[in-house]
């Protein structure tokens, strides 16, 4: 008898396994697959980690992250990105996949639709399917930029999310501010809440 939930069958990591297998056959490959930095951790960050351990800062933290960190992130978003933000609207997660899953769990119901620009980071559609959503893919080829007409045509009354990843993983494409604003306006126009 298997005790693993069926939803895990939607999370397919075979692309990663295949890439790692092929990587071992190459000479000096550059790995752009999962964001592993080529640089070593800076000394001041190592020292801060060691200091935290020696000062016994090893207990559970607030689920949304340390207040000081959320304050610093909100300040950065306000001053450098002109995004109105408060520490209360910031949550710190241990990585993209965990954050994405938390967003899907909070916002997406079974049978909702999630739009993903193609090419995409594999967890985006897999996590959506895991929570019972269907996925609609909108191609960005050949320019790797969103086609707003194709996006609008893909939105239905079941669309709950449009996943935007800029700079895009894996293409590296950066979506211009005017494109991001147009997507936001389109989402607002089509919203059914």
- At 153, list the tokens: 């045509």
How would CATH label the architecture of 93-190?
Answer: 3-Layer(aba) Sandwich (3.40)
pLDDT of residue 23: 77
Which are the contacts of 119, defined by CB distance < 8 A and separation ≥ 6? 140, 144, 168, 170, 171
Residue 135 host element (H or E): strand 134-139
pLDDT of residue 25: 84
- At 61, list the tokens: 């933290």
Helix, strand, coil content of the chain in percent (nearest 5): 45, 10, 45
- At 55, list the tokens: 């000062």
pLDDT of residue 31: 66
The domain limits of the chain are 39-92, 93-190
pLDDT of residue 2: 61
pLDDT along the chain (193 residues), means of 10: 66 70 79 71 95 94 94 97 95 92 94 96 91 96 96 96 93 95 94 74
State residue 52 phi and psi, 5-degree precision.
-60, -40
Q: Say if residue 51 is exposed, middle or buried (CB neighbours under 10 Å; 0-12, 13-18, 19+).
A: exposed
Tell me how far apart the alpha carbons of residues 183 and 168 are, in angstroms, rounded to a whole number.
15
């Amino acid at each position: 008898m298997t005790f693993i939930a069926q939803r895990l069958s939607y999370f397919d990591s075979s692309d990663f396994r295949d890439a790692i297998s092929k990587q071992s056959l190459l000479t000096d490959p550059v790995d752009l697959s999962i964001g592993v930095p080529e640089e070593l951790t800076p000394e001041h960050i190592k020292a801060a980690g060691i200091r935290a351990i020696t000062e016994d800062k090893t207990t559970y933290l607030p689920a949304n992250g340390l207040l000081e960190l959320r304050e610093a992130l909100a300040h950065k978003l306000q001053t450098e990105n002109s995004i109105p933000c408060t520490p209360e609207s910031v949550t710190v997660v241990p990585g993209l996949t965990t954050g994405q899953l938390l967003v899907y769990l909070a916002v997406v119901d079974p049978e909702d639709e999630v739009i993903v620009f193609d090419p995409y980071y594999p967890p985006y559609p897999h996590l959506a399917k895991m929570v019972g959503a269907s996925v609609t893919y909108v191609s960005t080829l050949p320019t790797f930029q969103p086609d707003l007409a194709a996006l609008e045509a893909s939105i239905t009354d079941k669309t709950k999310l449009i996943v935007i990843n800029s700079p895009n993983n894996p293409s590296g494409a950066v979506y211009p501010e005017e494109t991001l604003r147009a997507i936001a306006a389109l989402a607002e126009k089509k919203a059914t809440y």
